[in-house]
Amino acid sequence: MYLKELSELSGISGDEGEVRDFIKSHMASYADEMWVDNVGNLLILKKGRESDKKVLIAAHMDEVGMMVVRINEDGTLGVAPVGGLDVRVCLGKRVRIGDVHGVIGYKPIHLQKKMEDKFPAWRDVKVFCGFKNKDEAAENVKLGDYVYFTTTFEEKGEYFSGKAFDDRGGCSILMDLLSSGEPAYDTIFAFLVQEETGLRGSSVVVEQVKPDVAIVVETTTAGDVPELEEYRWATHLGDGPAVTFAHRGYVVDPRVFQTIVETAEEAGIRYQYKRRTAGGTDAFRFARSAYGVPAGVVSIPCRYIHSPVSLMRKDDYHETLKLMQLLVMEGEVKKAWRN
């Protein structure tokens, strides 16, 4: 498992190089072919026991974060989100801009106006890095610099915690599969860029590899938190991998969906449906690209995604890996072929 190392790497959308280099260095010995395309996707071909069909497995390398958009007279920095990041989960958190470290600050509670504590705005947030003035800040930080969370990965009891589990969890699963042996069919392992800013990386993959079927491995939001009513939960930690039947912009191909579900049931793998259809994945792009690739989604439930720290159960990770091993390495994905 590579989750710890992947989680602690920096890779906001458009700046995935550190993550890509880590995957390349660890997977090169398992690859039959490896290349980086024009937008930065890392594609690895692993030849299978049979070559009459081609499978595409994908996860995205990028994480949500921030970017410097303003250097203030007092030396603090103004930032804007990159990807779906709520300002309310960022206040008071430690961050890094290159080699510069800082803290995200906001107006003290006793100075806030009515309702301001509930609805802070990005324009009012400042990153304090210890600079005395604008000139000193401008010598060390530039507009457009990425602002990363500095969360350390931890393992406690039945849980993992850390940043960027969306979607370094999926990347780790793909790396586990790649290093575990020979797949049933020729398989492209795609590590994608800029999913969080509009599914950009996946939009150029299908025409390069021309797969017969695709499965996206994601992490997805868990709703089992005290403040949310159970009927609004998307997934639940501890109930195994989540299988998507539909999400924003895409109803999952029934044959792929049923193949994933039947494979889990026949193997006795506990699984759950993702019960909310908000959000989207790279499966949407695969299904709408070129000739329309049948695409499914298998996700690891995760609390507090798109925040400085997320929480994942170990057994959910390992059950997701087990399901993907059956689909890809044992060839159960064959049930989804379109003749």
Cα 243 from Cα 178, distance rounded (Å): 22
Spell out the per-residue pLDDT of the chain, length 339, in tens.
999 999 999 999 999 999 999 999 999 999 999 999 999 999 999 999 998 999 999 999 999 999 999 999 999 999 999 999 999 899 999 999 999 999 998 766 656 666 555 678 898 899 999 999 999 999 999 999 999 999 999 999 999 999 999 999 999 999 999 999 999 999 999 999 998 898 787 888 988 999 999 999 999 888 766 666 666 666 788 889 999 878 777 777 889 999 999 999 999 999 998 766 666 777 788 888 777 888 899 999 998 999 999 999 999 999 999 999 999 999 998 888 765
- For residues 302 and 311, the answer to whether their CB atoms sit within 8 Å is yes
58 has which bridge partners?
190, 216
Q: Please report the domains of the chain, with CATH numbers, ordered by start residue.
A: 3-63+163-336 (3.40.630.10), 65-149 (2.40.30.40)
CA dihedral (222, 242, 273, 269) positive or negative? negative
Place of tokens 């059956």: 326
Q: Is 57 helix (H, G, I), strand (E, B) or coil?
A: strand
**Residue 63 DSSP symbol:** B
Active site residues: 195
Per-residue pLDDT, 280: 72
Per-residue pLDDT, 121: 86
Cα 162 from Cα 100, distance rounded (Å): 21
Per-residue pLDDT, 199: 79
Environment class of 242 (CB within 10 Å of its CB; exposed 0-12, middle 13-18, buried 19+): buried
The pair of three-digit structure tokens given for residue 16, joined into one six-digit string = 């995935």
Query: DSSP letter string over 156-220?
Result: ETTEEEES-HHHHHHHHHHHHHHTT---SEEEEEEEES-STTTSTGGGGTHHHH--SEEEEEEEE
